[in-house]
Amino acid sequence: MEKTGGKLNIDAIFPNATSLSAPDFSVLNEDESLIAKTIDMFVQDDVLPNNAKLEAHDYETARDLFQEAGDLGLLGVEVPESYGGLEMGKKASGLVAEKMGYAASFSVAFNIHSGVGTLPYVYFGTEDQKHRYLPKLVTGEWVGAYALTEPNAGSDALAARTTAKLDEATGEWVINGEKQWITNAHIADVYVVFAKTDMGITAFIVERKMPGVSVGAEEKKLGIKGSSTATLIMEDVYVPPENVLGTVGKGHHIALNILNLARLKLAFANVGASKQALSVAVKYAKDREQFGKSLVQFPMIQEKLANIAVAIYGAESAAYYTASVLDGLGESGKADDVIHSLANYAMDCSVNKVFASETLDYAVDEALQIHGGYGYMQDYVAERLYRDARINRIFEGTNEINRLTIAKAFLKHMNDETEGEALVSSEASTQSDIAADRNWQFIFAAEKLLQITMKSLPIKNRKDMDEKQEFMQRLADVVKDIYVMKAAVLASSHKTAGALKQRMTDVLCEEGYQRIAQAATTVVAAAYADAAEKQAALDDIRSLAVPLYSDLFSAKRQIAETIISQAGYEK
């Protein structure tokens, strides 16, 4: 972590939002706009009309859609051109995932294929492996899958029981075991499989046609019914040595780094699905009349719509900010530069995963509530959105695991000498053009709350972390909210942002600060046994200088009016 005059610089681990020259990541260039329009047409004309077939597990339809997506160039956005891809980076890939978020269950199948089903070859494959598999995956000729989870290894994903033993006679690896809840299981042609070897967890490329490979029955799920989910079974599967992905015994590096990318991609998909839920809610509320007027005329409904929009804006801002940062890592054009730096952004990816998935849960819940009894009926899209959304807080690491990742990654950056003090960058606080801004004042105060929280934490080592998870959770939420607040300020700081984004930023920062103050108060109250120390820390919280709280009701009515007039919220 960077140090400034012997003190920690918070901008080393949060978005460098003190730099108003940051790129306007909320604006799409010509190529990105074309991709967005292409996906909109693909989803509306090809995917959604076939959703019933997909939910009936019509695998031929699913494969056809993958090939159509391949023909449109959507499957290889992050794949180098030399293997048939577009090589456009994380922002473009995020845009694709966001737009595919409208595609019901196919969004899950698509993102698994183009993410964890493809990127392990890009970042860890040999030249031979890249040439063998990437062109087929990019065109949709083959569908990819990722096999990590096991019946006894869920959140503890690396506690695998699947084994791979080297057959000295043939020089091949023999894999035995089962992988559970594998997305695309029945339509995949190739799987990235993680297995135990004598040297540690190792990743293998396993093809569907290999003898001993079979797939169990489709799981009966609450939601995302149109994506194939089943158990991958391997019985004495002989895998040649050239199908080892990466280094023997180093498979955990692949699993953890690819998981970080998957979390960010999932956040983008959740942003898209949230926007769909908001649009559905607005349309219904405009059409539905009660007590002689449409639902959108009722202030409580307006507040719901505004709250959804503000949350979406926060999730969108954070995701595109993080993607832009990761794109900066890859400016050399070398995939290795990205993957070697990616571990430093585990916190960022987890922040996005948690915030976006919980935004989606909030959006679909309120969308269904606005529909009233009709939202509970399968004839209405809100019912399906509600069921499909629930998985997002579970897969790619539960939100509980991701909160621990956020807190632990943050603490890892801390220097023992500081003991949590002087977290606020002195450089940031002296920039008058920033310090005068109301939202910056909330951010600076929130960072001071983080300082107070850190000083009180009864966490000195890893054992304490495991035993004090309530504290870790609150710390993660404070970090998460500051990250999103800063990203939102960045997005609204550009001349293209407009009045709506500024209003949403205002609400997000004020309410974000209030949540952080509550979390800090809860931690302090629990951390100090000595009454005098506790009172002193609580007094520090109460004495912080923050802007006078505003009329959020009026601000949200204005946001709602805009959202209603434009039938939802888009970038």
- Please give the chain's pLDDT, 571 residues, in tens: 333 333 334 454 565 444 444 556 667 889 999 999 999 999 999 999 999 999 999 999 999 999 999 999 999 999 999 999 999 989 999 999 999 999 999 999 999 999 999 999 999 999 999 999 999 999 999 999 999 999 887 677 677 899 999 999 999 999 999 999 999 999 999 999 999 999 999 999 999 999 999 999 999 999 999 999 999 999 999 999 999 999 999 999 999 999 999 999 999 999 999 999 999 999 999 999 999 999 999 999 999 999 999 999 999 999 999 998 888 876 555 556 667 778 888 999 999 999 999 999 999 999 999 999 999 999 999 999 999 999 999 999 999 999 999 999 998 876 433 444 434 443 444 455 566 799 999 999 999 999 999 999 887 776 777 889 999 999 999 999 999 999 999 899 887 888 999 999 999 999 999 999 999 999 999 999 999 999 999 999 999 999 999 999 999 999 999 999 999 998 7
For residue 328, the model assigns a pLDDT of 82
For residue 457, the model assigns a pLDDT of 87
Which one of 78, 172, 366, 396 is the catalytic residue?
396
Amino acid (1-letter code) at residue 287? D
Virtual torsion, Cα 31, 34, 36, 41, nearest 10 deg? -160
> CA 396: distance to chain centroid?
9
Beta strands in 251-312 (DSSP E): 289-290, 293-294
- Mark whether 87 is an active-site residue: no
Task: Residue 14: name the closest of 511, 331, 339, 428 by CA.
Answer: 428
For residue 6, the model assigns a pLDDT of 31
For residue 489, the model assigns a pLDDT of 92
Total-model pTM:
0.93
Q: What is the pLDDT of residues 50-77, one digit of tens each?
A: 999 999 999 999 999 999 999 999 999 9
CA distance 58 to 60: 6
For residue 481, the model assigns a pLDDT of 97
3-state secondary structure string across 307-371: HHHHHHHHHHHHHHHHHHHHHHHCCCCCHHHHHHHHHHHHHHHHHHHHHHHHHHHHHHHHHHHHH
DSSP state of 19: -
For residue 148, the model assigns a pLDDT of 95
For residue 414, the model assigns a pLDDT of 67
Name residue, tokens 């006078």: 548
CA distance 302 to 270: 22
Q: What is the pLDDT of residues 197-241, one digit of tens each?
A: 999 999 999 999 999 999 999 999 999 999 999 999 999 999 999
Q: Which two tokens stand for residue 308?
A: 């959804």
* SS3 (DSSP) at 153: strand
How many contiguous H segments (helices) and E segments (strands) does the chain have?
21, 12
CA distance 522 to 97: 37
For residue 139, the model assigns a pLDDT of 98
Q: Give the up-direction half-sphere exposure of residue 2: CA atoms within 13 A in the CB hemisphere.
A: 12
Domains of the chain, earliest start first? 3-22+405-549 (no CATH), 30-143 (1.10.540.10), 146-248 (2.40.110.10), 252-393 (1.20.140.10)
